Amino acid sequence: MPIAVYKQGKIFYEEKGSGEPLIFIHGVGLDHTMWNQQINSLSDSFRVIVYDMVGHGGSEHPPGPYSLSQYVEQLSGLMDYLQIDKTHLVGFSMGGMVAQAFALTYKNKLKTVTIMNAVANRTYEQRKGILARVEEVRENGPLSTIEPAIKRWFNPTFLQSRGEVVNQVRNRLQTNQPASYLAAYTLFATADAELWPKLQNIETPAFIITAENDIGSNPEMARMMHERIKGSDIKIIPDMKHMLPVEGADIINQELRLFIGKQTISLG
């Protein structure tokens, strides 16, 4: 159980493979295990690194409120601990926000950035909806939001045919520390407003990807990010919902190989 140490505490991480570093950031309420299929597939070509964000899993659980800068400095601390100068970075959902913030703060530490199933520039109604879920977590605890989230995240056919995979996600959500989850979820509900005015300053080669039927991180948000981030690539995966890296793992792994390979050729 590898533990990295940095100025804010400890970071639980795992790594596999060799080659150029490829770091993955999970979504709110999840942990490094959501990337199991990426580790198994992509470690034949990359040094794949996954870790638990602040307030999640085996990493540090400081008291809230949380800020994007905490998550940015955590990732920077992990890279320093592992003696990684530059990396390819993939962030999913809330991890996509952290990836955006990292690209704005530490562009010299990045080779590419992939922003996956991430939110941007929520409308008033979208903000109202997510803040209502924050209040539900505050009043009733994290368990109250799990089953609605599962239904939003996966297609019905996947829920039926891959119940053991869905249960791994469900079990992870059930083990969150309530105070840490509330602090992280509150940040997730608001951080897009902080990031949106700055996105045009991202200079790292960027890939924006989401699913056709992702309600919270919808294609319109992906297109808006694509317009803001100069030179970015965009891909909308048909017939999928939010949990692209799990339900659509083969597609995601192929798209990441293609994008990173294309950037490596152009930079070379």
Each residue's pLDDT tens digit, 137-189: 999 988 988 999 999 999 999 999 999 999 999 999 999 999 999 999 999 99
Q: What angle do CA 144, 147, 148 make, to 5 degrees?
A: 90
10-residue mean pLDDT series, the chain (268 residues): 92 98 98 98 98 98 97 98 98 98 98 98 95 93 92 96 96 96 97 97 98 97 98 98 98 98 76
Q: How far is CA 198 from the centre of its chain?
A: 19
Predicted local confidence at residue 266, as pLDDT: 66
Q: Are strands 206-211 and 233-237 parallel, antiparallel or unpaired?
A: parallel
- What is the total count of domains within the chain? 1
Closest of 85, 83, 53 to residue 70, by C-alpha:
53
* Amino acid letter for position 153: W
pLDDT score at 265? 74
Contact 28, 184 (CB under 8 A): yes
Give the domain extent around 164.
Answer: 3-267
Task: Report the SS3 class of residue 59.
Answer: coil
d(CA 232, CA 207): 6
CATH code of 194's domain:
3.40.50.1820
Long-range CB contacts (within 8 A, 24+) of 155-163: 155/213, 155/239, 155/240, 155/241, 155/247, 158/247, 162/247
Residues 243 and 154 sit within 8 Å (Cβ to Cβ): yes
pTM of the model: 0.97
Using an 8 Å Cβ cutoff, are 113 and 207 in contact? yes
d(C-alpha 191, C-alpha 70), whole Å: 13
107-132: pLDDT as tens digits: 999 999 999 999 999 999 999 999 99
Can you give the pLDDT at residue 61?
97
